[in-house]
Amino acid sequence: MGKKKRRHDDREEDVYGHTAGAIGGLAMVMGVLFAIKDKTGLSWPATVILTVAVLVALGYAAWWVKSRVQRMWARTPPEASFSTALATQEAPPVEEEGPARDEELTKALVASRVIGKDEFVRADESVVTPLPHGLGTRYEFKVPAGRTYKDVAAKTEAVAGALDATRMRTQVERGELSARDVEMTVLAQPPFTAPFAPPTREMILAHDGIPFAHSMTGELVGMDDFTKGAIFVAGMTQTGKSTLTVALLTCAYIAYGTELDVYLIEGKPGALTRFEKVAVRYEASSKATAFDSMVRELLQIQQERYEMDMQAMRERKSTPRHRQILFIADEVADYYVSDGSAEAKKQKARLVKNSSELVRKGLECGITVVMMTQRPSDKAVPVEVRDQFKKRICLYVSGKGGAEVALGSDYFKTESPIHPALMDASIQGQGVYFDGVSSKLVRGIRFENDFIWQVVDDVAARREKHIEAAAPDTPLRQAINIMRARRVDFMPTAELAPALGITETDRTERGKLLAKLLGVPAGKGAKGARGYRLTDLTAAERSRS
C-alpha cells in the first residue's frame, strides 16, 4: 500500500510541475506580446499576426541556411568521398562477365531446337576448322550440360538446314572425350562431287584395318578386321556393288598377303573373275546347288576348327590360330529362288539353315561372309539370313522399303539415319555404311585394273614360293607340276594315276587309290571323264599350307 500511495503522490507532483511550466511559458509569451505591443503601438490582433509572421520567417531562414550547407558538403571531391566510404564500409562486389558464345553454332542449335533459347555453346569449347581443298567446314564442340551428342544426331537434318546445308552434306559423329562432345562435318558441295585418288599400298598397310571405301571427306573407311562382323551389301543394278567388293578384296590381299583364303561365287563371270587365280575356289554359276556346295564345304571347315578349339581347351593349350577365310557371294537372291515344288522347298529350307549358320557362327573360327544382292526386297533374301549380318551397306535404292531390307527394319529409328534414296544414283559405289550403331556416307575405292592385277600376281607368286619351299615332293605337288608341264587344266584319272606310279588296271580301284593319294575327290571333265582340275589341286594345296 505504501508503494502505491508513493506512486500516486509522484504523479500529482508531475501534474503540478507541468501546469506550473505551462503557466510560466504562457506568462512569457504574454510578456513578449505586451512588449511588442507597447513598442509598436499596434492593436492586439496586429501584434499576434506580426509575431507569427516573424517566427515563420525565422524558421524559413533556418531551413534555407541548413540546405545550403548540405549542398556544399555534397560537393566534396570524389577521392575524399571514396576514401570516406572505404573507411566506413566495404566496396560492393563487381559482377564478372559470363563466357563468350559461339554465335553461329548457338543460333543453329537453337533454331533446330537441339538446345533451348536460354542455352548456348561456349566459344572456348568449340573449334571451327576449314577442310582442305575447300571441301567444307569441321565443327568440334560441346553441347551445354544436360545435352548429349544424341540430341544433335537426332536432328541432323534440322541442324543442316539451320547452317544452310543439306542432310547429305552433313555428318554428325560422337566425340572421343565425353557424351557432350560432337564432331560435325558440313561439306560445301554435294558429297563425292569429285572422286578421291585411290590409296597406295603403303597407305593401305598403314590403315588400322582393311579399308574398302572413302568417307565424304576423303579418309579411308573399312573394318578393323574380318572377325568384327559379316557384311550385307544391297543396291539396285549398276549402283556400284562390284566397286565396293573389288576394293575390299584388293585391300584384303594387301593386308593379309598369303594368309587369306578366299571363296568366290557369282551368277556369271564378272568382277570377281579378276581374283580367280588366287581364290581357293571360284564358281560362276547361278545354280543353288553350286552355292550350297560351297556353303557345305565351309561348314565342314567350320566344324573342324571348332573341334580343334575344343581339343585345345581340354588339353589346356592356347587356341589355334586359324587362317582367315573370306566368302563372297554375289547376287545371292538367285540361290534362294524356289519353283514351289516340294523338293525345291526342301532344298531352300536346307540352304537357308546352312547359310544362316555359316554367317552366325563362322566369325568365331575365322570365316567371314559377304553377301550382295541387287534385289533388296523382303522376299529376295530370307530374313533368317539377313538378320545375322552385323554390318550393312546400302547403295542407291528408290524407296524406304528397300532401305529397311538392306539396313534393317529398325534402321530409321537409329542415331542420325541417312536415307539411301537421297543419294545421287549416278555416282557408282556411293552408299550408306551402317555398323549397327551409326551411319556413314561412303564411296568404294576405285582401283585401276593394272593395280589390281599387280596385287593378284604378287600374291600368286609368293604363294608358289611358299608351297615349293614347304612341300616340294608331295603327291599333290607332283600332280600339279605334271599338269603344268603338260600345260593342261584337266587330266583324266587314267592318265594322272600312271604318272604318279599307280599301276592298278581296274578303273574303280585306280580312282580310289589316286583320290587317297592326293586327298582330293575327282570330278568330271567336259566330256564326262573323271579326273582332276588344276585349279582344284592348287586350291587344296593352298588350304593345307
3-state DSSP assignment of residue 75: coil
436 known ligand binder: no
3-state DSSP assignment of residue 489: coil
- Host H or E run for residue 313: helix 288-314
Nearest to 226 by CA among 198, 281, 263, 268: 263
240 known ligand binder: yes
> CB of 433 within 8 A of CB of 222?
no
Taking CA atoms, 332 is separated from 69, 178, 281, 286, 291, in Å, by 105, 42, 17, 9, 9
239 known ligand binder: yes
> CB of 155 within 8 A of CB of 164?
no
- Beta carbons within 8 Å of 301's beta carbon, 6+ residues apart: 325, 367
- Beta carbons within 8 Å of 375's beta carbon, 6+ residues apart: 331, 333, 381
401 known ligand binder: no
Kindly report the three-state secondary structure assignment for every residue of 13-50: HHHHHHHHHHHHHHHHHHHHHHHHHHHHCCCHHHHHHH
> CB of 388 within 8 A of CB of 128?
no
310 known ligand binder: no
242 known ligand binder: yes
CB-based burial of residue 236 (10 Å sphere; 0-12 exposed, 13-18 middle, 19+ buried)?
A: middle
Distance between CA atoms of residues 485 and 504, nearest Å = 24
Phi/psi at 126 (5° precision): -140, 145
Within 10 angstroms of residue 359's Cβ, the number of other Cβ atoms is 27
CB-based burial of residue 360 (10 Å sphere; 0-12 exposed, 13-18 middle, 19+ buried)?
A: middle
Q: Which triple of cell numbers denotes residue 310?
A: 575344343
Q: How many CA atoms lie within 13 A of 381 on its CB side?
A: 28
Nearest to 274 by CA among 542, 445, 453: 453
In the block, residue with C-alpha cell 529376295 = 380
Within 10 angstroms of residue 454's Cβ, the number of other Cβ atoms is 14
Q: Which residues are annotated as a binding site?
A: 235-242
Q: Which residues are annotated as a binding site for ATP?
A: 235-242
